[in-house]
Amino acid sequence: MYKLGLVAGLVLTHTAGEVFAGAIERSKQPIQPLFESGRYLEFSVVAVSPNVSGVDSGVAQPGASSGNIIDNYFQFGVAYKDDVNDKWSYALILDQPYGADTTYPDGKAYFASGSSADIDSYALTGIARYKFNENFSIYGGLRAQTIEASARIPFVADYTIDTNSDTGFGWLAGWCCI
């Protein structure tokens, strides 16, 4: 029975789907540049202009519209990859993995009117890859990530929070077979 549980646990951990990051995930913290051929440089800039709105279902003013609650934002990324030799390669990747730019417009009858949330983050990843052959490789690296946030919720005793920027460090490891 122990072996069956161990096998089931291994299968579940290796078949897990995407992790939901509370709707603030903006990038998948990519490592694809590590698998490009030769020397590789990538720049990305994205302009996002979302339009998200809702209608009060009866909390304060039934039928009141929130108006557009998501602000426009820009996102950027940079990646550089190079080969050390035919077996080893490395990449440096800068991205903005998490973010939020939410503002419920003031002056609306909507219950959350005047509320806002802002999250900004930056991640720098250094990653190395060892290629055993054309079909199998392992990789690993370190990541430094900085995040800061602020929020205002006037309908909860005018709650306001502003965080200081905080940086954390982590690691990543994996394998790839084609």
Radius of gyration of the chain from its Cα atoms, rounded to whole angstroms: 22
DSSP secondary structure string for all residues of 9-44: HHHHHHS--PPP-TT-B------GGGGSSSSEEEEE
**Residues 36-54 pLDDT 10s:** 999 999 999 999 998 888 8
pTM: 0.76
Chain Cα centroid distance, residue 23: 9
Quote the CA–CA distance of 169 and 167 in Å, as a whole number: 7
* pLDDT at residue 162, rounded to an integer: 92
| Pairwise pLDDT comparison (15 vs 52), residue with the higher score | 52
Domains and CATH numbers, the chain: 25-177 (2.40.160.60)
Q: Sorting pLDDT into bands at 50, 70 and 90, what band is 79?
A: very high
Instruction: Please give the backbone phi and psi of residue 129, each rounded to the nearest 5 degrees, phi first.
Output: -130, 135
